[in-house]
């Protein structure tokens, strides 16, 4: 007999059936018979606790989770189940039932479904904890320009809480039941259909940067980031995130340790050099007439872009975001035309006009010489670890000249902080023995072995 059914068995002749009604015995629930001396409600109350631990599976495409009835707000309704059992038993006391018993002495079995209550608020709490497992990010369509391959779009999904509660309310009540999870589709920003309309022979804008003097590990990171960026599609009016496109900078994804700016000094870190890719994309976006929604200049001037065209990014913290202002999709082509040159092109339409970038230094800021006692250095031994650079407050102007002669301007600011000149010295070294302060330096400060300024 099915475990989720309650059966009332009427045994013997009519007086025995009447005694069953009076004394609450003869109930068969899930193949268990309660003792005749236990009230039906009390026995069902004990069954209620056991049924709360009954297991079921919540399933969706490629995803499964286990839960108990209790966790999903399902509980046995003792009063309603007992009432249903008594109503079924009363049907055994009629004359026709008595005649059937006399003809066929085998007991008649009356199946009565267990009655369950459902608490949607309790179920909602448990489902909310499962929502992240159900969620699946959509995949945008893109072109792998190097492999000449199309990557098709794939919709994402989110848990549809209201519809899932309906599924649970109407679902099975057997041990091991399967209840499908309802989901809502998340449409990708870039669909496969968009790619067919993109004419990759038309170049909106482009920009190149050189890393001849920064080869080695930085070159590996630049090439890896460009590979992830290459083929990205920016839909009409879409905001494009550099960090989302390139992804986490980890060794597992092909990045390596290379110098990067930490505070105001160069330190090794996984992903050093990725900022050059972001800067090259930013410059191409500026020349393409894009809206720059989120961008921060480096803390120091970079050697690979003019002031105002660079952009710094930090994995998971600081992003470059640009918006496609046009009514057609564009494709990012990021590649290395030479082993030490990075080029980013925005493909899919012609430039709306001639775009020019100018910058003006509004103010200069002097730097200091930082003297740091380095463990392992001999007395009077010294080494210049870092060149000092002035800081600048810069205003950029972007001028677009359209074919009809109309001109439009926009301005934005960049701040580059002074970079200290850093000398590593041995203990007891007289700072006056170091070379004279270079042009742009305004004084000396003393740091500790951690290369930070002294307290």
pLDDT attached to residue 184: 94
Each residue's pLDDT tens digit, 286-339: 999 999 999 999 988 888 999 999 999 999 899 999 999 999 999 999 999 999
pLDDT band at 452 (very low <50, low <70, confident <90, very high): very low
Each residue's pLDDT tens digit, 179-222: 999 999 998 877 887 777 778 889 999 999 999 877 788 899 99
Which of 315, 348, 350, 304 has its CA nearest to residue 330? 348
Q: Which residues have C-beta within 8 Å of that of residue 454, sequence separation ≥ 6?
A: 445, 446, 447, 448
Which of 248, 214, 194, 264 has its CA nearest to residue 421? 264
Q: Which residue has the tokens 């002749």?
A: 13
pLDDT attached to residue 75: 94
Q: Which of 300, 335, 352 is the last residue of a domain?
A: 352
Which tokens hold the place of 235? Answer: 């839909």
In a shared domain, residues 316 and 253: yes
Which of 344, 342, 313 has its CA nearest to residue 234? 344
| 69 close to 75: Cβ distance less than 8 angstroms | yes
In a shared domain, residues 171 and 56: yes
In a shared domain, residues 358 and 341: no
Looking at the domain assignment, is residue 192 inside a domain?
A: no
Q: Which residues have C-beta within 8 Å of that of residue 27, sequence separation ≥ 6?
A: 6, 7, 8, 9, 33, 34, 40, 43, 85
In a shared domain, residues 270 and 379: no
- Name which residue leads in pLDDT, 357 or 193: 357
In a shared domain, residues 343 and 361: no
pLDDT > 70: percent of the chain: 81
Cα separation, 233 vs 87, whole angstroms: 67
Q: Which of 186, 219, 254 is the last residue of a domain?
A: 186
Looking at the domain assignment, is residue 231 inside a domain?
A: yes
In a shared domain, residues 59 and 182: yes
CATH number of residue 420's parent domain: 2.20.230
In a shared domain, residues 334 and 358: no
In a shared domain, residues 208 and 291: yes
Q: Which residues have C-beta within 8 Å of that of residue 267, sequence separation ≥ 6?
A: 259, 260, 261
Q: Phi/psi of residue 4, each to 5°?
A: -95, 15
Each residue's pLDDT tens digit, 361-400: 999 999 999 999 998 899 889 999 989 999 999 999 999 9
pLDDT attached to residue 259: 67
Each residue's pLDDT tens digit, 68-127: 999 999 999 989 888 877 777 666 555 545 555 555 554 555 566 788 999 999 999 999
- Looking at every residue in the chain, the average pLDDT score rounds to 83
Give the range of the structural domain holding residue 222, as residue numbers without chain letter.
197-352
In a shared domain, residues 19 and 159: yes
Looking at the domain assignment, is residue 191 inside a domain?
A: no
pLDDT attached to residue 229: 94
Which tokens hold the place of 394? Answer: 């810069």
Q: Which of 136, 151, 186 is the last residue of a domain?
A: 186
pLDDT attached to residue 262: 54
Q: How many domains does the chain have?
A: 3
| 44 close to 129: Cβ distance less than 8 angstroms | no
H or E segment to which residue 8 belongs: strand 5-10
In a shared domain, residues 214 and 294: yes
In a shared domain, residues 226 and 140: no
Cα separation, 173 vs 190, whole angstroms: 42
Assign 328 to helix, strand or coil: coil
Q: Phi/psi of residue 217, each to 5°?
A: -60, -35
In a shared domain, residues 110 and 40: yes
Beta bridge partners of 383: 424
């Amino acid at each position: 007999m099915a475990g989720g059914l309650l059966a009332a068995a009427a045994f013997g002749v009519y007086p025995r059936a009447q005694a069953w009604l009076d004394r609450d015995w003869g109930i068969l629930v899930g193949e268990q018979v309660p003792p005749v001396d236990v009230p039906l409600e009390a026995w069902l109350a004990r069954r209620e606790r056991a049924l709360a631990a009954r297991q079921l599976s919540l399933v969706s495409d490629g995803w499964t989770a286990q839960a108990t009835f209790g966790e999903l707000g399902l509980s046995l309704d003792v009063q309603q189940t007992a009432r249903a059992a008594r109503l079924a038993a009363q049907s055994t006391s009629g004359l026709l039932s008595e005649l059937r018993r006399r003809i066929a002495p085998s007991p008649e079995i009356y199946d009565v479904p267990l009655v369950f209550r459902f608490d949607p608020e309790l179920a909602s709490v448990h489902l909310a904890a499962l929502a992240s497992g159900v969620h699946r990010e959509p995949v945008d369509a893109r072109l792998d320009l190097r492999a000449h391959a199309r990557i098709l779009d794939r919709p994402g999904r989110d848990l549809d809480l209201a519809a899932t509660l309906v599924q649970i309310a109407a679902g099975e009540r057997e041990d091991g039941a399967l209840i499908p999870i309802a989901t809502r589709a998340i449409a990708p920003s870039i669909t496969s259909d968009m790619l067919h309309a993109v004419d990759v022979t038309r170049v909106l804008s482009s920009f190149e940067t050189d890393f001849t003097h920064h080869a080695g590990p930085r070159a590996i990171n630049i090439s890896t980031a460009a590979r992830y960026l290459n083929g990205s599609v920016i839909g009409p009016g879409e905001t494009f995130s550099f960090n989302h496109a390139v992804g986490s900078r980890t060794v597992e994804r092909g990045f390596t340790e290379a110098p990067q700016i930490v505070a105001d000094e160069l330190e090794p870190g996984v992903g050093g050099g990725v900022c050059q890719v972001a800067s090259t994309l930013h410059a191409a976006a500026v020349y393409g007439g894009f809206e720059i929604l989120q961008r921060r200049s480096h803390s120091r001037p970079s050697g690979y872009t003019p002031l105002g065209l660079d952009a710094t990014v930090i994995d998971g913290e600081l992003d470059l975001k640009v918006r496609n202002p046009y009514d057609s999709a564009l494709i990012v082509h990021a590649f290395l035309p030479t082993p030490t040159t990075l080029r980013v092109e925005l493909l899919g339409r012609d430039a709306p006009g001639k775009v020019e970038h100018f910058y003006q230094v509004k103010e200069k800021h002097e730097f200091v010489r930082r003297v740091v006692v380095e463990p392992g250095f001999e007395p009077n031994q010294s080494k210049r670890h870092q060149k000092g650079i002035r800081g600048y407050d810069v205003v950029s102007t972007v001028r677009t000249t359209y074919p009809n002669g109309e001109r439009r301007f926009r301005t934005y600011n960049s701040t580059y902080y002074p970079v200290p000149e850093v000398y590593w010295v041995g203990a007891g070294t007289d700072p006056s023995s170091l070379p004279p302060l270079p042009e742009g330096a305004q004084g000396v400060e003393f740091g500790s072995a951690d290369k930070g300024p002294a307290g």
